[in-house]
Amino acid sequence: MTQSDLDAALFFDAVPGAYALYRAFADAVAERWPDASCRVQKTQITFTNPRVFACVSLLRAKRKADLPTPWITVTLGLPYRLASPRVAAVEPRPGRWTTHIVVGNPDEIDRELLDWVAEAYVFAARKR
């Protein structure tokens, strides 16, 4: 296990089972975007290309009573609002939507989610 893996495991220590969800997401990202890197920070784990295109955290993007156990929150920056019941989004600046997707099961790291990540990857790469 690398230092980054140990740091990620410690990051999710407060929510048993969340690390396994993170690992499934991180493995899917690494498989699809091998040039991406990730960095464990205090409040999130960021994926970069070299700009941030995805973050994983324990942000409560739903009411606590509606959160699955365990859960992770995948956050993406997109140029438009996603129309999906899976998504909570805000527009902090015109043309920039911060999009949160709560994941409670490895099956939710599906083609739809990874397609959204792909859009965020391209959007981040275009920023100057």
- Could you report the per-residue pLDDT of 78-92, keeping only the tens digit for each? 999 999 999 999 999
The residue with greater pLDDT, 25 or 15, is 25
The rounded distance, in Å, linking the Cα atoms of 92 and 107 is: 30
Q: What tens digit of pLDDT does each residue of 18-68 get?
A: 999 999 999 999 999 999 999 999 999 999 999 999 999 998 877 777 888
Amino acid found at 53: F
Confidence (pLDDT) at 4: 80
User: Residue 110's pLDDT band (boundaries 50, 70, 90)?
Assistant: very high
Confidence (pLDDT) at 113: 98
Domain residue ranges of the chain, discontinuous segments joined by +: 3-126
Residue 75, φ and ψ in degrees, nearest 5: -115, 130
CB 74 within 8 A of CB 26: no
Q: CA Rg, the chain, in Å?
A: 14
| Domain 3-126 is found in CATH 1.25.40 | no
Helix (H) or strand (E) holding 30: helix 18-32
The angle subtended at Cα 20 by Cα 101 and Cα 1, nearest 5°, is 125
* Residue 69 DSSP label: S
